[in-house]
């Protein structure tokens, strides 16, 4: 069970969260002497181990937190004619997530790739090269990728993009192959 995210925190709260039953000091709790600090917590939700130590560094600290784990999302392709727009709906499960998830579509030749994201259903608007959404615990991320084919005037081409999804420092990369058909 995590320590409260606001309000008063007692040394007893910290001692209990760290699984200790004896007398502790804030320094020993903060620097990992009592128990190794669990880095599965976001950096903002764990003590930094450096003086001056503060009880507020323990806001939202969860000593039993686990690292985020991404589910399966296979590589896929999108093909569009010159200036045409196509979309691809995708989803992936995040287990043990915490904080923001950032989805980034890199630029490249042969089309513009953007994404819209949601945790409730497949979005159909709000596309951008990079999107951020809050995700915690176990959730599904729904994404709609949109590709606008490059104006190639009869010269088709292909560009593989390494799209990244990042939560709690854990990165999932999926390759999206963008194909401009030259039509």
CB 77 within 8 A of CB 53: no
DSSP state string for 117-130: EESSS---S--BSE
Reduced to 3 states, what is the DSSP secondary structure of residue 45? helix
Output the six-digit token pair for 79. 């093909």
Question: Can you tell me the mean pLDDT for 67-80?
Answer: 93
DSSP class of 154: T
Reduced to 3 states, what is the DSSP secondary structure of residue 52? coil
Question: Can you tell me the mean pLDDT for 3-11?
Answer: 92
pLDDT at 34: 92
Reduced to 3 states, what is the DSSP secondary structure of residue 139? strand
d(CA 130, CA 170): 17
Domains of the chain in sequence order: 11-58 (no CATH), 69-180 (2.60.40.10)
Cα 19 from chain centre: 29
Cα angle 123-135-8, degrees, rounded to a multiple of 5 = 145
Q: How confident is the model at residue 56 (pLDDT cuts 50, 70, 90)?
A: very high
109-154 tens-digit pLDDT: 888 999 999 999 999 999 999 999 999 888 999 999 999 988 766 6
157-170 tens-digit pLDDT: 899 999 999 998 88
Q: Percentage of residues in the chain with pLDDT exceeding 70?
A: 98
Output the six-digit token pair for 57. 């560094």
d(CA 85, CA 74): 22
pLDDT at 153: 64
Q: How confident is the model at residue 67 (pLDDT cuts 50, 70, 90)?
A: confident
Residue (of 91, 89, 107) closest to 148 by Cα position? 107
Output the six-digit token pair for 44. 């903002």
Tell me if the pTM is above 0.75: no
Number of H helices and E strands in the chain, helices first, is: 2, 9
């Amino acid at each position: 069970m995590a320590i409260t995210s606001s309000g008063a925190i007692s040394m007893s709260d910290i001692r209990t969260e760290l699984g200790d039953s004896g007398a502790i000091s804030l320094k020993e709790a903060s620097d990992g002497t009592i128990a190794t600090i669990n880095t599965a917590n976001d950096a903002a939700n764990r003590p930094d181990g450096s003086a001056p130590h503060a009880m507020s560094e323990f806001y939202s600290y969860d000593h039993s937190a686990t690292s985020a784990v991404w589910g399966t999302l296979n590589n896929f392709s999108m093909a569009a004619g010159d200036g045409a727009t196509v979309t691809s709906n995708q989803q992936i499960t995040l287990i043990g997530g915490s904080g923001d998830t950032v989805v980034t579509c890199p630029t490249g030749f042969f089309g513009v790739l953007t994404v819209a994201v949601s945790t409730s259903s497949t979005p159909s608007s709000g596309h951008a090269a990079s999107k951020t959404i809050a995700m915690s615990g176990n959730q599904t991320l729904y994404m709609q990728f949109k590709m606008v084919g490059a104006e190639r005037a009869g010269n088709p081409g292909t560009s593989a993009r390494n799209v990244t999804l990042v939560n709690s420092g854990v990165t999932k990369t999926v390759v999206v192959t963008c194909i401009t058909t030259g039509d």
